[in-house]
């Protein structure tokens, strides 16, 4: 049997099941999504320095930024934020095709962004034109707009934007019961991202600040994440330069030929908040 969400294999009769980890993680990630969605939708200020959970999401999803399953979302988010930051609010399909190379059609991506109220799409001169909504503008102008292009700011905003998109997909995935009829963009379950989030966030949720590379490897290998993908993730966890890459790891500890990662304090604080909210609501 294969877990419908994470890919864990269990011996037994054929068919789908949900593993214990996924059963525990699903309501946690749903709570995280609820907090983030309401912040982005309702707050006038979407500041990752005060709303640290936004930074957490950006950091977590960035860990899989180069994964082919999620790369397309990253690229389109970068383009949209670049445009919005430059106060250009329309993107033609032609422009999009030039900037984001993909063999996939845009339909599923457009639908996703429209569902989240981030863009509207119309057809003009036989091509689709994307218009950025106020929700996107609000996010892009978070740190003000200046005439000079600040690449670091754009990268940081794009991470948050992509984090929101990817978390929305992960949230949908958390409701899957069967493997048939996956209502996700391109019918793809971002399994690597799911597993990375599950491992890191569940550790933090349980109050466990440090994990070893071996524990991580064991967790994702059981779920058939290839070693090359695993290596990419480990490498991005080791890159701790804050603003432009991930800000998840406070310290890489090397002892007894073993590499361990210590999560940033803010990760622990945010996940404790999620835990407190859940126990209060129950
Ligand atoms: Zn599972």
Tens digit of each residue's pLDDT (9 = 90 or more) over 101-153: 888 888 999 999 999 999 999 999 899 999 999 999 998 887 776 656 678 88
pLDDT of residue 168: 95
Expressed in angstroms and rounded, the spacing between residue 191 Cα and the centre of ligand 1 is 10
Q: Which of 161, 254, 158, 248 is nearest to 209 (CA)?
A: 248
What is the per-residue pLDDT for 243?
A: 47
Ligand 1 centroid – CA 272 distance (Å): 23
Query: How many whole angstroms from 198 Cα to the centroid of ligand 1?
Result: 9
Q: Which long-range contacts (CB under 8 A, 24 or more apart) does 44-47 make?
A: 44/138, 45/142, 46/138, 46/139, 46/142, 46/160, 47/142
172-201, pLDDT tens digit by residue? Answer: 999 998 776 677 888 888 999 999 999 999
Per-residue pLDDT, 240: 63
Whole-number Å distance, alpha carbon 17 to ligand 1 midpoint, is: 8
Residues of the chain with pLDDT under 50: 243-244
Res 147: pLDDT? 57
**Quick check: pTM over 0.75?**
yes
Percent of the chain whose pLDDT exceeds 70: 95
């Amino acid at each position: 049997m294969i877990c419908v969400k994470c890919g864990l294999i269990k011996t037994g009769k054929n068919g789908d099941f949900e593993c214990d980890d996924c059963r525990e993680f699903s309501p946690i990630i749903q709570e995280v999504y609820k907090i983030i969605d309401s912040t982005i939708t309702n707050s006038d200020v979407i500041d990752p320095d005060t709303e640290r959970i936004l930074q957490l999401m950006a950091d977590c999803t960035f860990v899989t930024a180069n994964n082919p399953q999620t790369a397309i979302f990253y690229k389109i988010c970068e383009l949209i934020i670049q445009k919005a930051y430059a106060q250009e609010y329309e993107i033609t399909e032609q422009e999009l095709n030039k900037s984001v190379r993909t063999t996939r059609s845009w339909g599923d991506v457009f639908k996703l962004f429209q569902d989240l109220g981030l863009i509207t799409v119309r057809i003009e001169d036989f091509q689709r034109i994307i218009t950025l909504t106020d929700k996107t503008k609000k996010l892009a102008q978070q740190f003000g707009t200046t005439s000079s292009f600040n690449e670091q700011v754009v990268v940081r905003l794009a991470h948050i934007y992509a984090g929101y998109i990817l978390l929305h997909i992960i949230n949908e995935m958390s409701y899957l019961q069967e493997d048939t009829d996956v209502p996700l963009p391109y019918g793809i379950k971002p399994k690597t991202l799911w597993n990375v989030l599950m491992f890191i966030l569940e550790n933090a949720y349980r109050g466990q600040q440090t994990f070893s590379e071996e524990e991580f490897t064991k967790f994702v290998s059981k779920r058939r994440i290839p070693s090359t993908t695993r290596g990419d993730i480990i490498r991005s966890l080791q890159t701790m330069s804050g603003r432009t890459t991930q800000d998840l790891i406070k310290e890489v500890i090397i002892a007894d030929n073993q590499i361990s990662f210590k999560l940033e304090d803010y990760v622990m604080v945010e996940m404790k908040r999620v835990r407190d909210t859940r126990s209060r609501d129950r």
